[in-house]
Structure 1
Amino acid sequence: MTSAKVGSAQWAFAAIMFLAYPILRPYSSEVGMEGAEAFGETSWVIAHVCAMLGFIAIALAMRSLEQLVGPSAGASAASVAVVVTWIGVGLTLAYYGAEAFALNALGAKAVSDADPAIMELADPIRNGAVQISMFGIGLLLVLIGGVYAALAVRSSGILPSWSGLPLAAGLILFAPQFFAPPAVRIAHGVLMFVGCLILAWAFWKARTLRTDLVTSAA
């Protein structure tokens, strides 16, 4: 079943990206020259690009979920998951782009000029009213999409009823983990990895089950 096979790959890719994000991300006080050095590292860009790719993979995987559970009772919940997740991911990516590229350029400039005053621009880049509102709404919508995806999985009768819950938990905790220490943020990355990997397994299992049914019918 194409949607199950593709969806499995999408969830597996998302799992790797969300694990890489907190592991690769440099941690610091994010102020002064210490913050500039962290922002200016190549790993800062790579980590945030991993997060962006993870969100894109989740959005695509939601479409695969909709296709997979389409004939079942989970169809309406899956459709809601697709719409709100796609909108949420679009809003979230704009903020992550600034985090990945604007702060990296800012940090690199502060380091090259040995001028920590440049870092004063980090706050308006991150916390301006428009961008922080877009980011907050985006994460909320992705969270809602994750909850509806879990409901779709539970109602489908095609996937294990519990298999959407770990991802939903990871998405619920996505915003709070930003205020946690590095160890907790990495633990959250592990939770996202497990949640996405469980769905990758569930989709692959659904594909195998369908293949077995077709073979036995023949």
Structure 2
Amino acid sequence: MFASRIRFGAGALAISGILFVIYPALRPFSDERSLLGAAAFGSGAWLGSHMLAIVAFTLLPLGLLGLQRSLLGTSAERLLFVAVVLSMIGTGFTLPFYGGETYGLHALGQEALRLHSDSPLGLTEAIRSGPGLVMFLAGLLLLAVSAIVTATALWRSCRYPKACGIPFAVGISLYIPQFFGAQPLRVAHGLLVAAGCMWMAACLWRREQVDRNR
């Protein structure tokens, strides 16, 4: 049971990383003040890509939980526990905003297309601003702190390569700035996050194999 939970954590990290790349690659980008923006919002690609982002964020705490379990009995275990808690809270703060992006803007885009008018798009900023935006930014900051704590714990641990958490920490810490970039930059950022997730997943999987063969 213990080993299966660790393998589940490795799988969660790997899948999360892959989805962090697919999300910006699949997400349509356009002038969001025009009917082109309405077509983007109302498309299946918009709905699907944002749902994948929601799954990606949801899997992160599960992956970190697998890392924490693999470090039971070590000095790094407590740090990973802190990282898991921060990641859970950060994810909880982040997902409501993605819900508005996913379903609210999708419905808005479809209504604009039905009316063949860009007037409903005036509500875009209302959906993306206010208390929801504040909670979203707080969630991403908590996720960044969680990723940095994760990298610190892995650096201190004798069970993993010291640098294996650094790409993940850098990628998650850059999540807010990358929103100001164009699609190629955002895909590149997704690749960085994916590389970090995949490296930790591979290390976690190998660690479980070593422990099982002892």
Matched, 1:72 2:74: yes
- Any residues of structure 2 matched to 1:19-34 within 5 Å, and which? 19-34=21-36
Residue 115 of structure 1 is aligned with which of 111, 114, 117? 117
- Any residues of structure 2 matched to 1:1-218 within 5 Å, and which? 1-128=3-130, 130-213=131-214
Letter in 2 for 1:166: P
- Partner deviation per Cα, 1:92-121 (whole Å, 9 max, x = no partner): 000000000000000011011101001001
Structure 1 position 69, deviation (Å): 1.1
SS at match of 1:71: coil
Residue pair 1:88, 1:142 contacting (<8 A) in 2 also = yes
- Partner deviation per Cα, 1:31-74 (whole Å, 9 max, x = no partner): 12111111111110111111111111101112112211121111
RMSD: 1.0
Alpha-carbon distance in structure 1 between the residues aligned to 2:135 and 2:147: 18
Q: Which residue of 2 aligns with 1:216?
A: none
Alpha-carbon distance in structure 2 between the residues aligned to 1:169 and 1:152: 15
Structure 1 position 3, deviation (Å): 3.5
Percent sequence identity over matched residues? Answer: 33
Letter in 2 for 1:39: F
Residue pair 1:4, 1:206 contacting (<8 A) in 2 also = no
Residue pair 2:70, 2:208 contacting (<8 A) in 1 also = no
Structure 1 position 4, deviation (Å): 2.6
- TM-score scaled by structure 2? 0.96
Letter in 2 for 1:106: L
Q: Which moved more, 1:63-72 or 1:41-50?
A: 63-72
Letter in 2 for 1:201: A
Q: How many residue pairs align between the two structures?
A: 212
Letter in 1 for 2:88: W
Structure 1 position 76, deviation (Å): 1.6
Alpha-carbon distance in structure 2 between the residues aligned to 1:80 and 1:64: 13
Alpha-carbon distance in structure 2 between the residues aligned to 1:21 and 1:85: 20
- Partner deviation per Cα, 1:128-167 (whole Å, 9 max, x = no partner): 2x01100000000001011111111112211221111111
Off by >6 Å, runs of 4+ in structure 1: none
Where structure 2 has 5 or more consecutive residues not aligned to the other structure, the ranges are none
Residue pair 1:15, 1:194 contacting (<8 A) in 2 also = yes
Letter in 1 for 2:11: A
